[in-house]
A and B are shown apart, each in its own frame.
Chain A
């Protein structure tokens, strides 16, 4: 961590220093301000890591205990949607990064375009998630709400999934019950992730409006940069969730 900023005008009494209009009064220089807010964002993301960490811990333990249930339950997820979502998010991270570059280069039109693209891709992600969730709801795979283990005790009752995974054997009743734990983790982890996506998309909406008004292309890129960090973080969480939830038994 860098030491305190060297401030040229130090204890000079009465000297009213020039500062940029978007520099807050309690900072001595704009550089200090953007450094501090950037650091604050990284720290906040660290708290988010700890927040998700509890769910990852639970996942590790239960996957270890109930591996067969996790494998078969994960076959209920459509890997094509999962891959699509992963691609969508990675591209949106790219457009976001381009947006940050545009802000730094003071290209307003480019910035707005990139933000809009990111926004659309974010919505796309949520759309695909909605499709996936509604499939689960139809099949009664939502823990606590008439959860059904039919598809696991009798795989042939679920022809779609069975066709894709013919080697899946019927699970014993007690192991089949543990698929509910898998689905609870699925919904909790992707749900928490989706919540963060929604928050990000709402903030993106605000940012698009502000960007069109030219707020981020005057040299004050902090907001865009820090939001970019947040967006990349949400992306990275998904990059962990995808293999853990979708790719359990695929080599």
Chain B
């Protein structure tokens, strides 16, 4: 038995793509467009999400180009306002929220719990159609004039003072919200009701726990966004007065309703990514995650606490001092479970047997960058420093560190980690490691200067800025160029690998987990027969036992 690298395995040389798998089961466009197979739906999502990511990325490129110079010389300020608004809307609602759950989650959660599909396959397909409808509507709004409300569409600006496509975009986000709700609903029902025999809650992979926590947030939080959008549209169209102080309404009511969803939304975005990191760190240390129970409970704790901190986005908006105390304290509490997870992942490395494949590199990047992002969140949770730092580039840097340095890296880690399972082929290791490195370097160059810009006072959403901020902005744009290259490379080599990648075999990483015990790509029904789970999660001793069994045959 070869022990040189983790990828070179007993069956590697004889591995073939199985003739019968979920991709080959049926052919034809309709078999994809009317599928109930969670894996096909995951693939559909993967393609569409990537499409929206690049549109959002192009908009980001435009932002950085404009900000090379202090003057508003690349585009009119109105256009710039539209560009950053649409960048935010697309990236949040059409990329980050569905990214891991709808692609990797959809693909893996039934397999990880030992089921043949999600509980509600038709709802799953509906979810994708809703996402596509919302996306098309959003693109239509973009193409026919755009929207310049900012992704936060604050009232009364969005309801009374703008003449762009607010209603269309609001409707698009409303529909996308239902896509998200249905995904979360499906996950919760599946995890509760379709675990295979022997699969107790504490034998589930931590990826399932994280997605479960995120699903709770999706299901309970997104409807509040939906009703907020309805109110904004009614206010805009009919002038009902709910947010209009001259009619007795209250603009702060909008803020409360909006942030009641939008804060849990950030945990919807990050928790699935954290789930990926649990899987990759354990696999590439060949060890059970350190403190499994702590990590599982931390995920749920983040979800629960995440509902009670929304007004930390409103510290300077005239909330009472007592409200501030409550929300600031709760925000400090919600930061702790994330810290617990980081340390648990770090200690998973202890006495492990570590290799540095691309998913592991992205995971290391996640751990460092999310730590910075999370700690800078504490700067903002402390109400005193928030006064100076809020509404500046410090905030922009903070959320890009957690979302891009954190979540996007986790997404890429997951895509690379499960690429062999989903496609049956390996990605090219060297170039992907290079891409990971380029991404890491580009990211830091892009967003670290923004912390300094924010501390210096540069406000966010500014098309022009005082000249003394130029140097840092130039650094940031230079980094963005590098970052763009880092994101383009995976598209190229992953597509290439579909035809020319090495055949992966069932378990190229020699990982535990039900998904690695079945063929790559899996059968449509995942398992020939429902498995019985008789060992713990991340049971590498069990895996060794299995390998001995195979070797002795």
- Render A33-65 as a binary contact track against B, CB cut-off 8 A, 1 for contact: 001110110011011101111110110011001
Report if A54-B228 is in contact (Cβ < 8 Å); known contacts: A11-B530, A144-B238, A188-B234: yes
Bound CA span A181–B238, Å: 12
CB-based contact A43/B224 at 8 Å: no
Q: How far is the CB of A31 from chain B (nearest CB, A)?
A: 10
Chain B residues, CB < 8 A from A174: 248
Does A20 reach chain B (CB closer than 8 Å)?
A: no
Q: Which residue of A lies closest to B116 (CB)?
A: A26
The verdict on A10 contacting chain B, using a C-beta distance below 8 Å, is yes
Q: Which of B186, B220, B253 contacts A58 (CB 8 A)?
A: B253
Q: Are A10 and B532 in contact (CB under 8 A)?
A: yes
With an 8 Å Cβ cutoff, the count of chain A residues facing the other chain is 52
Contact residue among A7, A15, A24, A50 (Cβ-Cβ distance under 8 Å from B224): A50
Q: Which residues of chain A come closer than 8 Å to B220, judged between CB atoms?
A: 46-47, 50
Q: Please give the number of chain B residues whose Cβ is less than 8 angstroms from any Cβ of chain A in the complex.
A: 54
Which residue of chain B is the closest to A174 with respect to CB atoms? B248
0/1 interface trace, chain B 151-183, chain A, CB 8 Å (1 if under): 000000000000000000000000000000100
Is B33 located at the chain interface by the 8 A CB criterion?
A: no
B120 touches A40 (CB 8 A): yes
A206 to chain B, nearest CB (A): 15
Q: A4-B196, A10-B197 are in contact. Are A26 and B185 (CB under 8 A)?
A: no
The reply to whether the CB of B34 lies closer than 8 angstroms to some CB of chain A is no
A32 touches B193 (CB 8 A): yes
Of A1, A15, A47, the residue contacting B192 (CB under 8 A) is: A1
Across the interface, A37 reaches (CB within 8 A) one of B119, B200, B525, namely B119
Check A54 against B121 for contact (C-beta < 8 Å).
no
Contact A181:B241 (CB < 8 A) given known A4-B199, A57-B257, A66-B248: yes
- Cα–Cα distance between A183 and B530 once the two chains are bound (Å): 56
**Interface members, chain A 143-176 (any B CB < 8 Å):** 143-145, 174
Q: Answer whether residue A250 sits at the interface, using C-beta atoms and an 8 A cutoff.
A: no
**Cβ of B193 and Cβ of A39 under 8 Å apart?**
yes
Q: B220 to chain A: closest CB distance in Å?
A: 5
Please name the residue on chain A nearest to B121 by beta carbon. Answer: A26
Instruction: Contacts A181-B247, A184-B240, A184-B242 given; indicate if A54 touches B231 (C-beta within 8 A).
Output: yes
Asked whether, in the complex, the Cβ of A47 is within 8 Å of the Cβ of B185, the reply is yes
Q: Is A40 a contact partner of B227 (Cβ separation < 8 A)? A: no
B449-492 vs A: 1/0 string, CB under 8 Å? 00000000000000000000000000000000000000000000
In the assembled complex, B188 has its CB within 8 A of some CB on chain A: yes
CB distance from B53 to the nearest CB of A (A): 27
Interface centre among A1, A44, A54, A57 (most CB of B within 10 A): A54
Does the CB pair A51–B226 fall under 8 Å? yes
Check B147 for interface membership: any CB of A closer than 8 A. no
Whole-angstrom distance from the CB of A212 to the nearest CB of chain B? 24
Residues of A within 8 A of B181 (CB): 47
- Give B220-235 as 1s and 0s: 1 = Cβ < 8 Å from A's Cβ atoms: 1111101110110010
Bound-state CA distance A89–B185 (Å) is: 28
Asked whether, in the complex, the Cβ of A13 is within 8 Å of the Cβ of B223, the reply is: no
Evaluate whether A53 and B224 lie within 8 angstroms (CB atoms) in the complex, with A39-B192, A40-B119, A144-B239 already known: yes
Q: List 20 A-B contacts (CB under 8 A).
A: A1-B192, A4-B195, A7-B196, A7-B197, A9-B529, A10-B197, A10-B530, A11-B530, A13-B528, A13-B529, A26-B110, A26-B119, A47-B220, A47-B223, A48-B223, A50-B224, A51-B226, A58-B257, A61-B250, A144-B241
A-B contact sample (11 more), CB < 8 A, given A13-B529, A62-B248, A177-B248: A1-B193, A4-B199, A10-B530, A24-B121, A27-B194, A28-B530, A50-B224, A54-B227, A57-B253, A61-B250, A188-B230
